[in-house]
Amino acid sequence: MTNAATAKSIITNIETILTTLGWKLEDLSSLKSDLSSYTSNPGCMLLLTGGDFEENYNEVPKYNTLDFTIVVVTRYSEPAAARDKAIDCVYNLREGIKPSTLNVGGLATTKYVFNVDHKPFENEFEDSINVLRYNFSVMHREI
């Protein structure tokens, strides 16, 4: 498996986690177009926002880091309900995205993912629309 294939497997496994949570994966163009269905099940989008390769003094890097943001959109008329749903989303993501849940499928035998770093998240509520941005990094071994 190449490094690119490892990264694609990680993305596939994150998408599987999101759909297992009952969230609707969308692209950017449709994420805010039909908000009526997001009251019970959030709409979400997975973004690859960056990455890093470990410096190893002109040798092949031993570790790669992929940075992600998950944008979760829900619709609630009450700010308290939106806040409570955002809290549920944050803890579901924190519990669901970990090395053991990413080292499945194509990564089940190699176990390349060895760390997930959950970063600060941002939450906005405006006009009954709640937008949560959940940031995290996945570290995997270089092949």
Going from N- to C-terminal start, the domains of the chain cover: 3-141
Q: Looking only at Cα atoms, what is the longest distance across the chain?
A: 55
Q: What is the DSSP letter of 42?
A: -
pLDDT digits (tens, 9 = 90+) for 38-88: 556 788 999 999 998 877 677 766 889 999 999 998 888 888 888 898 999
The answer to pTM > 0.85 is yes
pLDDT tens-digit profile of 83-131? Answer: 898 999 999 999 999 999 999 998 988 899 999 999 999 999 888 888 9
CATH architecture of 3-141: 2-Layer Sandwich (3.30)
Q: How far, CA to CA in Å, does 119 sit from each of 43, 109, 115, 116, 124?
A: 21, 28, 13, 10, 17
